[in-house]
């Protein structure tokens, strides 16, 4: 009997790639998504990729009654992978209360439902943003967490605290928080990928939209940082590598291989890449010349961060296999696919 996994936010960017990997790996999947930042058609496309369309229930996790109905109907959930959250840094600064309510109340509702329905395991989508600007690089999981630079980042930090304290108070609940560095790229089929609403905040969707002609030029936010070429450095990892890490983390919990009730892992390549290097990678991987101009720094940006992924490498047996060029190529193929869809 295949184990059934609840994936919240499963039509979103990381969620959809994780659902595709789960189904391919033999799990049954039910998705809860309020479609705030995604579309129901993504479930159909996961069906095209895997041959199995996941169940999708569209409602908001803040609606406790609807969530209780869901667990009464799906009384065979083995574990939860929790992606559903608002994630735009800039928007969170403009609408802090919406971010705290949505991201924290949905998590609390889920944890309380887990206790009511004897669901033991949660994999939580966290972020390297909890580190702020680390003192030491590469950054490892025991690095001191810095005060969050945005309400979004704070909801990830508080979310980790809520989960850690729940696991420590109740040994029937166990969890793993996965701290993502910068996920980029799209599924090799180009049927699913990042679907930013409006003007993209993140670098790679802005690059692909500029390459496609939707944006006049890419603005490089500053080349006066204390880095080799002056532009900011990040640890960009392919979204399929990231999705696969969720499968190994889930199995670690389901097979009781976790060493503590609450564990945290960095998910990154371990290599820092500057904005200019990312642009060069895109041009090399696609053959498309990118138009860009250096402008002033973006407020809130940290200068440089990249992961020490050795704990995940060792404990999860996980490491990234796709290259930066692979990720850029897949992002470009996805951009061309989605633009054709929007035209048809």
Question: Which residues of the shown chain bind ligand WQD in the complex (CB under 6 A)?
Answer: 87, 89, 127, 129, 180, 182, 201-203, 206, 218-221, 232, 234, 275, 298, 301
Cα dist from 72 to 10, 68, 82, 232, 333, whole Å: 20, 6, 19, 48, 41
Cβ-based nearer residue to ligand WQD, 180 or 337: 180
Cβ-based nearer residue to ligand WQD, 87 or 174: 87
- Name the minimum Å distance from CB 321 to ligand WQD: 21
- Name the minimum Å distance from CB 82 to ligand WQD: 13
**Catalytic annotation, pick one of 99, 152, 225, 322:** 152
Q: Say whether 236 is catalytic.
A: no
Phi–psi pair at 238, nearest 5 degrees? -70, 135
Smallest CA-to-CA distance from 313 within 248, 257, 243, 220 is with: 248
Cα dist from 46 to 14, 70, 125, 198, 282, whole Å: 13, 22, 20, 23, 26
- Name the minimum Å distance from CB 218 to ligand WQD: 6
Cβ-based nearer residue to ligand WQD, 210 or 258: 210
Cβ-based nearer residue to ligand WQD, 280 or 298: 298
Residue 106 near residue 149 (C-beta atoms within 8 A): no
d(CA 15, CA 192): 10
d(CA 219, CA 150): 22
- Name the minimum Å distance from CB 258 to ligand WQD: 23
Residue nearest to ligand WQD (CB): 232
Map tokens 């040994």 to a residue.
171
Q: How far apart are the first and last CA of the chain?
A: 40
Q: Point out the residues that are catalytic.
A: 152
């Amino acid at each position: 009997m295949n184990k059934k996994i609840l994936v919240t936010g499963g039509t979103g960017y990381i969620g959809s790639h994780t659902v595709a990997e789960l189904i391919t790996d033999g799990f049954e999947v039910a998705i809860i998504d309020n479609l705030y930042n995604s579309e129901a058609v993504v479930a159909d496309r996961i069906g095209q990729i895997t041959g199995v369309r996941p169940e999708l229930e569209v409602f908001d996790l803040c609606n406790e009654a609807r969530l209780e109905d869901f667990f009464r109907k799906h009384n065979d959930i083995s574990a939860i992978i929790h992606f559903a959250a608002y994630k735009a840094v800039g928007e969170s600064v403009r609408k802090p209360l919406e971010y705290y309510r949505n991201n924290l109340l949905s998590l609390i509702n889920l944890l309380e439902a887990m206790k009511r329905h004897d669901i033991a395991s949660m994999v939580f989508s966290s972020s390297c943003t909890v580190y702020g600007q680390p003192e030491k690089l590469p950054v490892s999981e025991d690095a001191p967490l810095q005060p969050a630079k945005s309400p979004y980042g704070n909801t990830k930090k508080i979310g980790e605290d809520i989960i850690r304290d729940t696991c420590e108070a109740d040994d029937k609940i166990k969890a793993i928080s996965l701290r993502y560095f910068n996920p980029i790229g799209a599924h090799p089929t180009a049927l699913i990928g990042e679907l930013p609403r409006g003007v993209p905040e993140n670098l790679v969707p802005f690059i692909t939209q500029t390459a496609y002609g939707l944006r006049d030029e890419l603005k490089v936010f500053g080349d006066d940082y204390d880095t080799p070429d002056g532009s900011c450095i990040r640890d960009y990892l392919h979204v399929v590598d990231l999705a696969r890490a969720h499968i190994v983390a889930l199995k670690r919990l389901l097979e009781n291989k976790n060493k503590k009730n609450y564990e945290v892992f960095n998910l990154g390549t371990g290599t820092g890449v500057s904005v200019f290097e990312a642009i060069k990678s895109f041009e090399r991987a696609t053959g498309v010349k990118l138009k860009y101009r250096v402008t002033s720094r973006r407020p809130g940006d940290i200068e440089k961060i990249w992961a020490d992924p050795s704990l995940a490498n060792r404990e999860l047996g996980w490491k990234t296999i796709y290259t930066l060029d692979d990720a850029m190529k897949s992002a470009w193929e996805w951009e061309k696919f989605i633009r054709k869809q929007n035209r048809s």
